[in-house]
Amino acid sequence: MKLRALTAVTFSLAAATLLGAASAQPAASEDKSATYCRIRVHGGILAKYIVLGSDKGRLGCPIGTEQMAAGGGGRVQEFDGATIYWSQATDAHPVSGRILDLFQKNRGELGCAGYPIDDESDTPDGRGRYQHFQHGTIWHWKNGKVSVVC
């Protein structure tokens, strides 16, 4: 009888140890998070934020918590210098300045452009900046004009 009780206790301890070890590991990168300027940043948005220098980079501090994107297909978080949009299909990309203004004016990720698919870049001729989205491109020209083609 003592042997059965000892075996049951040993088995229970082993199972608890294994289950505890398994649950201590993060399930996916989306589960990773960190706090910057007293606000949590998570998953793919966190990864992009770190690549761009976190709170010491051009984005500065987060100014709001991560939110579900309007259509429910992604996530969005605002920072001092940009807003990062994330979806599983497109990954995380910051949108800022006049490009962000026009993007949001055109219903953001629900509009004709969809989610950003890359970061903002200089035009090859140096006359402005542009950013590609799932279904279009937004340009911000040095003369101040902003345009979208979807």
- Residue 142: band (very low, low, confident or very high) from pLDDT cuts 50, 70, 90: very high
Please write the tens of the pLDDT for every residue from 98-118: 999 999 999 999 999 999 999
Please write the tens of the pLDDT for every residue from 30-69: 568 899 999 999 999 999 999 999 999 999 999 999 999 9
Q: Higher-confidence residue: 146 or 29? A: 146
- Domain count of the fold of the chain: 1
**In contact, 97 and 131? CB cutoff 8 Å:** no
Phi/psi for 142 (5° steps) reads: -60, -25
Domain extent for 135: 2-149
**pLDDT on residue 31:** 67
Mean pLDDT, rounded, of the chain: 84
What's the average model confidence in pLDDT over 8-12? 38
What's the average model confidence in pLDDT over 77-95? 97
Query: In sequence order, which residues have a C-beta less than 8 Å from that of residue 129 and are 6 or more positions away?
Result: 99, 120, 121, 122, 123, 139, 140
What's the average model confidence in pLDDT over 74-83? 97
